[in-house]
Structure 1
Amino acid sequence: MGQAGAPAGAFVLDGKNGDRLFTWNSNALLTLASNAKLFTTGAVLDKRGPNGRIVTRVLSRGKMKGPGILHGNLFLRGAGDPTFGDAGYVQASFGGGGTVQTLAERLWKAGLREVRGAVIGDESKFDSLRGGPTSGYAASGYVGGPLSALAFDHGLDNGHFQTNPPQFAADQFAAALGATRIRVDGGTRTGEAPSGARALAKVRSLPMKQIVRIMDLPSDNWDAEELAKGIVGGGEQGTTSRGAQLIGFYANGLGFHPRLSDGSGLSHSDVATPRDVARFLQKVRKRREGKALHDALPTAGVDGTLAGRMTSGPASGRCHAKTGTLTGVSALSGYCKTLGGHTLVFSILMNGVSDLGRAHALQDDMAQAIAGYQGH
């Protein structure tokens, strides 16, 4: 580990009994990069449950008159489902999830034939800031799309960022209604559903255990920021700062003290010690979020951001870990099933990195040594 230079640190422990097996500068506060997603993943799974789902609703205060005619507006209200969108995109990208087509079909089956009002996109569950602190809260290519509670197709429109996500979603929903032979008389716009509006239809996201895997395998920053905003309570508006605070509170409650300013790890101010990261991973193994967090991580030599690393040797197929990369930062933290039959938990955080390939090689060598451990 001394070859990594400074500042860098590492910590390895036995996942069964918590015994320390290796430590190097393990109490140093170091930038996490995407290892911050480990805390986001745990907090989201703890808040919503591994089988929890995010609900997107269609609401109205209008009244039904005549043969299926709604006199009033239809509100499409999002709650931060990062997998919501068009049926074709959702199926191709995620293998399923909530879509505007399903909402339209459910309204048709409920008897709706005409809307004498507008279709309105409601993103009020979150603030309207499109990015995180590293971009001044503007939409950013590093995030991967504009943030919105009414996220649609990952915030993309034919590969480009949507300029107005709730308007885009409203337009797509109106088109789906039209394709289902439901007439909309009042066009589309954005706004907030009034109090007292009742739900006419809803769709649920994939289970959270699948969504966090969709996030963690490729290390999707946009997914992480959407989920961080959505971690707030039912009566709160989601913001990046509040989401980061609640993720921190979750970790604090388990005895760990990361300092976070976003959910993705894009900020260099997202820091923790290697000891805290590893002990956090060890502790969550025994909690309800533990299996889903473990299963969300890339597997060495198999998939995600580790598909091309450690393709042979004892680590291949045995180590499941979260990568992290920023300018000057490289990280790898997770679990290895050893040749000796133990699960070892580790965190390697490297700051001041000038050669990313060398950093990866050092991390991979350490993971191979961890996986090859024969101790008892």
Structure 2
Amino acid sequence: MRRVCVVLALLAGLFACPSPAGAVDGEWLRAKLAREMRLAGPGAGAYVVDLTGERALFATREDVPRPPASVEKLYTTATALLRFGPDATLDTQVEASAPPDFEGVVDGDLWLRGGGDPTLTKVELDVLAAQLTAKGLTGVRGGVAGDGTVFDQFPGSYRTGGRLDIDMGGELAGLAIDRGLVRGRFQRAPALTGARALASALRRRDVRVAGRTGVEAAPAGARTLATISSPPMRQLVALTNVPSDNLYAESLLKALGARFGAGGTTAAGAAVVSAQLASFGLYPRVFDGSGLARADRTTPRQVVGLLERMDRTQVATVFRRSLPVPGRSGTLRKRMRGTPAAGRCAAKTGTIRAVSSLAGYCTTQDGRRVAFAFLMSGVYVPAARHIQDRMTAALARVDLGPPT
């Protein structure tokens, strides 16, 4: 077989013997990607960059803006890592106007102040109750109030005008337990639900709560009696990207607005993300954190631009590890199994009606790192995914040779 390959190569100058790993060269890669993009149609754009050699490998309609779908989450989670830092947390606190007296009784109300943590559950409220009793709390002469004012009062996404959005998979709130759901239904008053859950947890520990539960902002100067933290930001972004969780993405967006912008609103968070991207010289149209909004617009070049810049930051590894891996995890667990991309690439998927996207990183056969973005609109999604999978597998299969 080897002798036949050598003869053919000498005669035609067109073929090369395949390596044992099935690697192919850059010329084959570009031809392969071009064929696949013709199949994807005029509504598709692609951009691929060799990060190791710092050169573009392939480009087709790379500057045409398109809806990114959930690839938008790359912008949100990258900004969260850069602004908050990978070890930051979103904290939920129990506060009071004054500490308990010598008998362990709070003379007044308790406030459960939310920090926008989308992972909060009844279990964490039980931990808060345990902290309070461990510190000697025996009674509350007032009631328990839920405070979710870190975010605005709109429970849904940009695309629904802030109204409840079934595709969020929960209720967006500054204070909500169990994703703002009860037996699969929206809680409607998540801060009140949280307050009731904390009061119940205290009573189970024989803490007497004399007053009622309600919803109220904690007063300025209130003292913190107990705190429960979310997972660190490095884990929150992975919990967002791997399963493509819309609620987590929108919560991070509002948290960015609350901490670094004009307030805990979708618009304020989008402005923080846009400012971060502008510092990289990137100017997509950002309206939400999840990509549910069809008004979001970006180009393949802009997405790859983010991937390039994130690869140079101190959180580069954290960011890459937050992405699904073909054949192994998240939204790519059942895709590209048994291909060169399995275990060699990490990418964010994106899907809304007639839109399919894929963007991320691959390691080539010769150990180079490439960044890519495939944005496809006006397509039949299952067919578009097959095209993206073949293109991604080709990136992982190529041997680009030594840097030039």
Q: Which residue of 2 aligns with 1:299?
A: 325
Q: Secondary structure at the match of 2:350?
A: strand
Q: Secondary structure at the match of 1:255?
A: coil
Is 1:258 aligned to 2:275, yes or no? no
1:232 offset after TM fit, Å?
A: 2.3
1:135 offset after TM fit, Å?
A: 1.2
Which of 46, 62, 75 is the equivalent residue of 2:82? 46
Check whether the contact 1:63–1:72 (CA below 8 A) recurs between aligned residues: no
The separation in 1 between residues aligned to 2:349 and 2:283, in whole angstroms, is 20
Measured against aligned partners, the alpha-carbon deviations of 1:77-133 in whole angstroms (never above 9, x if no partner) come to: 01111111122xxxxxxxxxxx11111111111111000001000001110100112
Q: Which residue of 2 aligns with 1:12?
A: 48
Which of 156, 180, 183 is the equivalent residue of 1:131? 156
1:267 offset after TM fit, Å?
A: 0.5
1:66 offset after TM fit, Å?
A: 4.6
Check whether the contact 2:257–2:266 (CA below 8 A) recurs between aligned residues: no
The separation in 2 between residues aligned to 1:110 and 1:67, in whole angstroms, is 12
Q: Secondary structure at the match of 1:230?
A: helix
Check whether the contact 2:258–2:269 (CA below 8 A) recurs between aligned residues: no
The separation in 1 between residues aligned to 2:195 and 2:309, in whole angstroms, is 43
The separation in 2 between residues aligned to 1:256 and 1:319, in whole angstroms, is 24
Q: Which residue of 2 aligns with 1:101?
A: 126
Q: Which residue of 2 aligns with 1:23?
A: 59
TM-score relative to the length of structure 2: 0.88
Q: Which residue of 2 aligns with 1:352?
A: 378
Q: Which residue of 2 aligns with 1:187?
A: 212
- Aligned residue type for 1:202: T
Q: Which residue of 1 aligns with 2:336?
A: 310
RMSD: 1.2
Q: Which residue of 1 aligns with 2:314?
A: 288
The separation in 2 between residues aligned to 1:21 and 1:267, in whole angstroms, is 30
Aligned residues: 364
Q: Secondary structure at the match of 1:271?
A: coil
Q: Which residue of 1 aligns with 2:238?
A: 213
The separation in 1 between residues aligned to 2:92 and 2:99, in whole angstroms, is 21
Q: Which residue of 1 aligns with 2:366?
A: 340
- Aligned residue type for 1:75: W
Q: Which residue of 2 aligns with 1:71?
A: 107
Q: Which residue of 2 aligns with 1:94?
A: none
Check whether the contact 1:124–1:237 (CA below 8 A) recurs between aligned residues: no
Q: Which has the higher helix share?
A: 2
The separation in 2 between residues aligned to 1:109 and 1:345, in whole angstroms, is 51
Check whether the contact 1:44–1:231 (CA below 8 A) recurs between aligned residues: yes
Is 1:243 aligned to 2:279, yes or no? no
Q: Which runs of 5+ in 1 are unaligned?
A: 88-98
Which of structure 1's runs of 4+ aligned residues deviate more than 2 A? Answer: 62-66, 232-237
Q: Secondary structure at the match of 2:256?
A: coil
The separation in 2 between residues aligned to 1:149 and 1:280, in whole angstroms, is 29
Check whether the contact 1:62–1:73 (CA below 8 A) recurs between aligned residues: no
Check whether the contact 1:116–1:184 (CA below 8 A) recurs between aligned residues: yes
Is 1:163 aligned to 2:188, yes or no? yes
The separation in 2 between residues aligned to 1:356 and 1:71, in whole angstroms, is 60
- Aligned residue type for 2:280: L
1:63 offset after TM fit, Å?
A: 5.1
Measured against aligned partners, the alpha-carbon deviations of 1:338-357 in whole angstroms (never above 9, x if no partner) come to: 1121111100000111x211
Check whether the contact 1:74–1:117 (CA below 8 A) recurs between aligned residues: yes
The separation in 2 between residues aligned to 1:47 and 1:323, in whole angstroms, is 23
1:194-233 matches, cutoff 5 A: 194-233=219-258
Which of 90, 93, 100 is the equivalent residue of 1:57? 93
Q: Which residue of 2 aligns with 1:274?
A: 300
Q: Which residue of 2 aligns with 1:81?
A: 117
The separation in 2 between residues aligned to 1:213 and 1:164, in whole angstroms, is 28
The separation in 1 between residues aligned to 2:49 and 2:96, in whole angstroms, is 54
Q: Which residue of 2 aligns with 1:111?
A: 136
Which of 177, 192, 202 is the equivalent residue of 2:202? 177
1:273 offset after TM fit, Å?
A: 0.8
Measured against aligned partners, the alpha-carbon deviations of 1:206-247 in whole angstroms (never above 9, x if no partner) come to: 111111111111101011001100002548530011111111
Q: Secondary structure at the match of 1:64?
A: coil
- Aligned residue type for 1:250: Q
Q: Which residue of 2 aligns with 1:92?
A: none
The separation in 1 between residues aligned to 2:82 and 2:326, in whole angstroms, is 26
Select the structure of larger CA radius of gyration. 2
Q: Structure 1 residues 36 and 311, CA, compared in 2 at 3 Å: closer, same or farther?
A: same
- Aligned residue type for 2:78: G
Check whether the contact 1:274–1:349 (CA below 8 A) recurs between aligned residues: yes
- Aligned residue type for 1:331: S
TM-score relative to the length of structure 1: 0.94
